[in-house]
Structure 1
C-alpha cells in the first residue's frame, strides 16, 4: 500500500502531457466579447454546468524598472459565462495578495464589464471602483473582492487587473482547471537569465500549447555623481545591460469541471496546474543567492528560524507539569494517552492551520487556545519532557493540495503534526480534534506524505495516513407486527464515525441531536434513542434504537417479501459515472458488520432466501460477505461484513471497482420470501 501511494503521488505530481490538439481556440480580447457568447444558453461541452470560464489568460514577466529594479508583473484577464441562477456566485472575483513590510504586491488596473442581453440587444455595464472591496485576512495577506453589478442568469462577466510584486520567492502558480468547466486557459512566463525557477506540473489534461523559447531584455538606468567646490557640478551617466530571457507558453482547451465525486474529498487537489519555486539569483559579478534547495536544506532553515526552531527548546513550565501526568508504572502508550488527553482538555484549537506558532507555549497552555502549530508544538514539548523521541512533521492539508517530493515549496506547507517514537513503533499525533481516539489523525491532515524535521540531516519523509480501521458493529433483532417491522438495534462505532457523532452532539446538544434524528427519520417511526460512552474517546459510542417501519416490507396475498437491507449502507452503488479520471480514495480503512436476527412470524415459513456469498476486490483490498443461516427455532440469522483494507485505487481500476459495488448493491436488494402455511 505504501508503495502504491508513493508511486501515484510521484507520477501525478510530475505529469506533463505534451500532446497538442488539432485546433486551437484562442482566448478572448478585453472588451470584445462576441454576442453569441452573451446569448449562449447552454455550454455544449458540459450541458449541466452552472457557469463556464470562457477565457482565462495570464501573463507574467520579470523585467527591470529604473526606479525599482527587477519586478514581477502579473497581467490577468478572465471571462466567465453565467448559465444558471445557481452559477451567479461565479461572477464574483477575489484577488489575493501579500502585504509584507518592505516588500509587497501592488494590485492595480482593475477593470471589467458585465454583459447582458436585453430586448434583443447587448447591454454592457462597467465594473467600477465602487464594486471593489478590501479584506484583511492577516497581517501579511489580503484579498480584493470584486462584486460585479447586475449579474444574473445569462450574464458574461470579464475582469482584467495587474499585480506588481518584488516577492520573487512567491511566484504565483497557474491553475488551468476550476470547479466549473474552462473553455480556454492560457499562461505565459518570461524571466531574465539571472533568475532560476524550478517548475512542478501536475494534472491529467493535455496541453494545447506547450512551448519554450528564449528572448532578450535590457536594464537601463542612470547614475548621477556630484562634485564639490564653490560651484556644485553633477555628471549623469546612462547605463544599459542586455540579457537573455527564458520564455514559456502553456494553454489548455476544454478542461472539464473539477466536480466532487464519491471517494474524492477535494477534486481541486487534482487540478492541472503549474507551480514555481525560486531556486537562486545570480547577477553579473555577484555571488549566487540561493533561495531553495533540497528538503534537507529546508529543514535546516526551519530549525534555525526563531519562529519555528525555538519552540523545540526545553520549557521550564513543561518540566513542572509532565511528572504530574505520568508515572514509571505506565506503558509508553498509556503515557502518550495521558499527555494527549490532558492537553486536549487544557487547550482548544482555534481552527487555524499553520506550521508556525503564534505565541509562546506557556501562553498557549495558560490561555487555552491556539492554532494547529501552537497545539502540536506544545504536544512535542510535553512528549520530549516525558522521554520520547519526538519531532515536528510538516505537510499540507487535504484541502490545500499535495506536497511535491521533488519541489520543496515552503509557502505550501500549512499542516504540522508530531512524529513520536516508542520502543517498537512510530506514531503520528495531532491533538487538534479532542474527539478522536489515540492513533487517529484528523482526516484533513492525512494527505499522503509529510516531511519530518529532524536535526543532523536525519529529516525524512513519513507516510501520513491511518492504518487503524474505523469500525461499526450493529446487532439487530427484528420481528413482524401486522404490516410493519419492529427492530431493536444496538450499534457500536469506533474511530472516525464515532468522532463525527460526538462532534455533532457536542455542537447541538444531545437532546437536539436526538430530535433532529427523529425528524429526519423517514419510512416509519423512531421510537427511542439512547447513547452510551459519549465521554470516552477510546471506547466506541454505543447507539440504541427502537424502530417501527414498513420500508422493505411488502405483503402480497399469502406471501411476505422482506428487503431488509434495501435502504441500508451499500444498497446503492456510489460509483455512477461511466468513467473516471481521478483516483478513488477511501481515506481510511474501515470495517462494518451487521448481525440481524429475524423472528419468523407465526403461521409463516421461509419460501425463498438469498444465497450466501463472499467476494473480494484486488486481493482482499476490499472484502464483502453476506451469510444467511437456515431457519432455526423460528429465527433467521443474517451476517453482513464489509471491510476496506486498502484505501487508494487508481483510476484505471474504476470499472472493476464499479462492477464490484454493483454486485454488493444487488445482493443487498435480494428479498426473503415468507409464505403462509
Structure 2
C-alpha cells in the first residue's frame, strides 16, 4: 500500500493586499495539521529616522498575514499594541491598515477594519494599549495588518520574537541602527536563529535659515547641511518555524520563546564623549534607587510616624512588630492594580487617600518597618506574566515587594493582597528571584519561591450504593499558598455562583450544607466542608461492582504529554496533598479484591507518592499522599516526571471489586 501526502504548491506573493485564492482555500497547515491558525508571513523592520526638531526616533514597521483554520484560532483576530509614555512624551501608532479576506462565491472578498473599532486603554501610568478585533472572522479567512510605531525612546527596543504559539511559514526581520548607537544583542530560546550582518550608508539632511540684519531690509539665506554616516544592519530570514507548544506548569512560555533583545550599550556622536547606558544590574538598580519616585519616597516618614508609634509602642518583639505593621498596611491601603516599581502620586498622598499602586504600598510598608527598627528592604520583582529578567535592563522588573531580614531567615511581604501572609506572596510574584536593594542602592538576589510545603488535607466519608451512586461528606484543610488561592477564589464571590462552579467541576455533583471556616482568620488553615451526592461512581457488571476508591477525586490523565520538553516544569510552590477516604460498601456485597499498596518516588525525592488501602467487614479505608518537593523542576528530570505522573494516574485508577454475597 502506498501512502502519500498531497501538498498544494503555488507561488506566494507577500506584498500587502496580495492574498491569493489558493491561500484562502488551504484547510490544513502543511507543517502542523493541528494548528488552529498560522502566520503565512511575518515581517518586522526597526530602524532610525532623523527629525530636525527632535533628533533620532525609532520606527518599527510591522506587517503580518495570518491564516485562521479553525474556530479555536479566532483569538488571533484580536490584536493588542502596547505604547510607552513618560512625562508627556509617548510612542505613537500610525499608518494602521487591516483587512479580513475570505472566499465568497469562489471570489476573494475583503473587509477593512473600521477605525471606530480601535479602542485605547490605559494599562498603567506608563503604558497605553491600542486594541482591535478584525471584522467578519470565519474559518478559512486570512487577516492582514500593518502599522508603524514611532518612538523617541532609543534605549527601549521591543524584543524581536521569532516563535509563536502557532506555526510561522515565513518570517523576515531587520534591525538597522546608526553607528552612533551601539547595541548589545541578547538571544534566548531553543529554535536556532542565524542572523546576517551588513553595513549601509545613511545621511542626515538639515536646513537652516540665516536672516540678514541692519537698517535696510535684508534678505534671508538658506543653507542645507548633509552628514553621512554608516548604519549597522542585522537581518533574519526564517521559514517553517514550528509552534512553541505549551504544556501545563509553565510560569511564562515567553521566557522560552526564541527571540533577540537589543540593549543600548552606549551613544557616541562625533566630537562628543561616550554616553554609557545601563549595562550591569548594578547600574540598573542604582538608576532606580536614585530616582525621586523610588529612593526619596522610601525615605519619607513624617506622614505615618504618629500612627505607627501608637501601633507598636508597647511591642518589643521584632517579629510581632513586623506582623502588626504588615496587617496595618493591608487593612488601610487599597491597591489600584497598577504594577511598577515607581510611585505615581507619592506615598504621602497615597497614605492619605488610602489607595495606591504597588510601589506606593510596599515602599510605604518598607519605610514603616525600618521606622520600627527592623532591617527592611525593597525587593524588585518581575511578575510571572512579565517574564524572567534574563538581561540587565530597566524593563526587567515591573513590581516591588518588601523583605525583612531576621536571624532565623527572611520574611517576604506584599501588602497589596488582602489574603497574603508573611512568606506567602501572591502567585504572580513567585517568579525565580527578586533583587533586594540595600540602603545605598546596592543589590543582592534572593529566592522568591517558598521552602515550606502548602498542604491540602482531604477527609471524606462516603457510602457507595448498589446502583453505583455515592453520597457522603467532604472536608478539606488548606495552608499557605493553597489557602491563599482558595480565599482569592471564594471571598467576595456570590455563594450560589461559587457552588454552581464547584458542582460543575465534579460534573453534576449535588452539594448541600456547604461551610467554610477561618476564611478571614489568615493565621489559621482554611477549612471547607459539605455533603454531596454523586451518581454513577461505579460500574455494575453482573453480580460485581467495580470502582476506584478515589472516585471523583482521582487524576484521570497525565498532564505531561510532550516527547521532550526544553523548558522547566514550574509547580509555583512545593506542596503535599493527602487523602483519607472511608468507604461503606453496599449491603449484600463483600470485597473480592483491592489494589496493592504502593509507593514510588522521583529521583532526588522531587516527587513522592504513597498509596495504602485496607478493608474490614463492609468498610474500606484509603490513605494517599502526593508530594511535590520543589517549586521548579528542570528539563533534565522531565522524562522521570512524566513517568512518575503516569504511574500516579494508573495507581489512582486501580479498582476495587465487590462481589454479591
Q: Kindly report which structure 2 residues correspond to 1:63-78, keeping only aligned pairs within 5 A, or say none.
A: 63-66=49-52, 68-78=54-64
The structural deviation recorded for 1:505 is 2.5
Query: Residue 15 of structure 2 is aligned with which of 6, 29, 41?
Result: 29
Which residue matches 2:436?
452
Paired residues of 2:454 and 2:482 also in contact (CA < 8 A): yes
Corresponding pairs, count: 649
The structural deviation recorded for 1:338 is 2.0
In structure 1, C-alpha distance between the alignment counterparts of 2:509 and 2:597, rounded to whole Å: 29
The structural deviation recorded for 1:236 is 4.7
Moved over 6 A (4+): none
Task: Give CA-to-partner distance per residue, 1:139-171, whole Å, 9 cap, x none.
Answer: 654344455443332222212222333221222
Closer, same or farther: CA 676–253 of 1 in aligned 2, 3 Å: same
Which residue matches 2:632?
648
In structure 1, C-alpha distance between the alignment counterparts of 2:647 and 2:234, rounded to whole Å: 49
Paired residues of 1:531 and 1:544 also in contact (CA < 8 A): yes
Q: Kindly report which structure 2 residues correspond to 1:189-204, keeping only aligned pairs within 5 A, or say none.
A: 189-204=175-190
TM-score by length of 1: 0.88
Which residue matches 2:139?
153
In structure 1, C-alpha distance between the alignment counterparts of 2:214 and 2:658, rounded to whole Å: 117
Which residue matches 1:308?
294
Query: Residue 188 of structure 1 is aligned with which of 155, 159, 174?
Result: 174
Closer, same or farther: CA 597–168 of 1 in aligned 2, 3 Å: same
Q: Kindly report which structure 2 residues correspond to 1:322-471, keeping only aligned pairs within 5 A, or say none.
A: 322-326=308-312, 331-404=317-390, 407-456=391-440, 458-471=442-455
Paired residues of 2:449 and 2:631 also in contact (CA < 8 A): no
Query: Residue 628 of structure 1 is aligned with which of 606, 613, 618?
Result: 613
The structural deviation recorded for 1:44 is 2.6
Query: Residue 541 of structure 1 is aligned with which of 526, 542, 560?
Result: 526
Which residue matches 1:49?
35
In structure 1, C-alpha distance between the alignment counterparts of 2:138 and 2:471, rounded to whole Å: 51
The structural deviation recorded for 1:125 is 4.2
Query: Residue 458 of structure 2 is aligned with which of 453, 474, 479?
Result: 474
Which residue matches 1:87?
73
Paired residues of 1:403 and 1:449 also in contact (CA < 8 A): no
In structure 1, C-alpha distance between the alignment counterparts of 2:585 and 2:442, rounded to whole Å: 65
The structural deviation recorded for 1:440 is 0.6
Which residue matches 1:614?
599
Residue 642 of structure 1 aligns to a residue whose secondary structure is strand
Most deviating of 646-655 and 194-203: 646-655
Task: Give CA-to-partner distance per residue, 1:586-620, whole Å, 9 cap, x none.
Answer: 11100111122334556544321211111111210
Paired residues of 1:63 and 1:217 also in contact (CA < 8 A): no
In structure 1, C-alpha distance between the alignment counterparts of 2:497 and 2:205, rounded to whole Å: 71
In structure 2, C-alpha distance between the alignment counterparts of 1:554 and 1:330, rounded to whole Å: 64
Closer, same or farther: CA 523–158 of 1 in aligned 2, 3 Å: closer
In structure 1, C-alpha distance between the alignment counterparts of 2:108 and 2:504, rounded to whole Å: 49
Gaps of 5+ in 1: 1-24
Paired residues of 2:93 and 2:147 also in contact (CA < 8 A): yes
Which residue matches 1:216?
201
Query: Residue 491 of structure 2 is aligned with which of 482, 493, 506?
Result: 506
Paired residues of 1:318 and 1:385 also in contact (CA < 8 A): no
In structure 2, C-alpha distance between the alignment counterparts of 1:131 and 1:508, rounded to whole Å: 32
Closer, same or farther: CA 661–27 of 1 in aligned 2, 3 Å: farther
TM-score by length of 2: 0.90
Task: Give CA-to-partner distance per residue, 1:249-307, whole Å, 9 cap, x none.
Answer: 12333333345421125323332222222222111111222222321122222222111
Task: Give CA-to-partner distance per residue, 1:392-427, whole Å, 9 cap, x none.
Answer: 1112111111112xx322134211111211123112
Most deviating of 181-190 and 611-620: 181-190
Which residue matches 1:661?
645
Is 1:247 the counterpart of 2:233 in the alignment?
Answer: yes
Closer, same or farther: CA 455–635 of 1 in aligned 2, 3 Å: same
Paired residues of 1:96 and 1:141 also in contact (CA < 8 A): yes
In structure 2, C-alpha distance between the alignment counterparts of 1:99 and 1:592, rounded to whole Å: 46
Paired residues of 1:103 and 1:167 also in contact (CA < 8 A): no
- Coordinate RMSD, CA, aligned: 2.8
